[in-house]
Amino acid sequence: MKTVKPPRLKPGDRVGICAPSSPHPSRESFRRAGEVLAEMGLETEAGPHLWKKNGYLAGTDQERAADINHFFSRPDIAGIIAIKGGYGSARTLEYLDWQGIANNPKVFVGFSDITALHLALQKETGLITFHGPVLFQLTPEKKTSYLVDSFRRAVMGSEPLGLVDPAPEKTPFTYTINPGQTRGPLVGGCLSLIVQSLGTPHAIDTRDRILFLEEVGEEPYKIDGMLHQLYRAGKLQEARGIVVGECHRCQPREHSPSFVTGTFILEEILADIIGSLDIPAFYGLPLGHGRHLATLPLGIEASIDANRQELSLLDTATSN
């Protein structure tokens, strides 16, 4: 499917805020993040069902999907940002108006559980979407200059983003898994959500693409299992290269269910599975749940130099 670039955001544009996954109860955080976006010249509007709560979901599946459809259909809304991740965005997919979304391409931003929506939007519409901050990360107490600068350049800039900088404090650290250079369209997101897409109409397509992965709060044995599932599905082998972003809090735990007889650390898991592939791969850019987060346009041409642990975004992500 042909990729579709959304119009870039400009000062004076209005951005819709939706909750495709779990609820975020703090209206004060909404207001404070709105002030940060206002400094960029962007106005914010809460979705009609933004403050709904249904257990661990932000309203019913239909309500959460309705807000996405609502914002894509409105000509006065230039972009959409998820308020947070959590759980449940995949449950909205059967209620989304794919044709309406395709007819009205817009900047769409989020990460973590929002990975399910990124994969589906790419499959159904070809829309370039943005793996980037959810709204609550844009509050004054959570944002970093790295996060804000990367977000602004990705959704408001007119030039290719170029090299993705490592985190300012070099945390996470970067290292090569397999040497080499390659290029291709960029796909990926949260590992567990990518694995959940397998066997569905919106399963990730990694053929001749650069795959990036990140995760949070999972022990090495869980990551081992998820990577093996991708391997057995052929998804790792089909990729041209792999970037493993920050895997935040993914060390072995000192309590059950860690194995008292021994364990592996994350680096050993990556070396065992990804290291067995004959493709360039490296670890460590701030592409996940850590303090800093680079905004990545999904679907554009990118290149990696695993020897130097570099990811470069080669094409513009927006139109106009």
Contacts of 190 (CB under 8 A, 6+ apart): 85, 111, 112, 113, 115, 213, 214, 215, 216, 288
Q: Which amino acid is at 202?
A: H
- Of these residues, 192, 289, 292, 303, which one is catalytic? 289
Catalytic hit among 112, 150, 192, 303: 112
Catalytic annotation present for 214: yes
CB 249 within 8 A of CB 219: no
**Known catalytic membership, residue 73:** no
Which residue of the set 49, 70, 192, 214 is catalytic?
Answer: 214
Q: What is the 3-state secondary structure (H, E, C) of the chain?
A: CCCECCECCCCCCEEEEECCCCCCCCHHHHHHHHHHHHHCCCEEEECCCCCCCECCECCCHHHHHHHHHHHHHCCCCCEEEECCCCCCHHHHHHHCCHHHHHHCCCEEEECHHHHHHHHHHHHHHCECEEECCCHHHHCCCCCCHHHHHHHHHHHHCCCCCEECCCCCCCCCCCEEEECCEEEEEEEEEEHHHHHHHCCCCCCCCCCCCEEEEEEECCCHHHHHHHHHHHHHCCHHHHCCEEEEEEEECCCCCCCCCCCCCCCCCHHHHHHHHHHHCCCCEEECCCCCCCCCCCCEEECCEEEEECCCCEEEECCCCCEC
Name the residues annotated as catalytic: 112, 214, 289
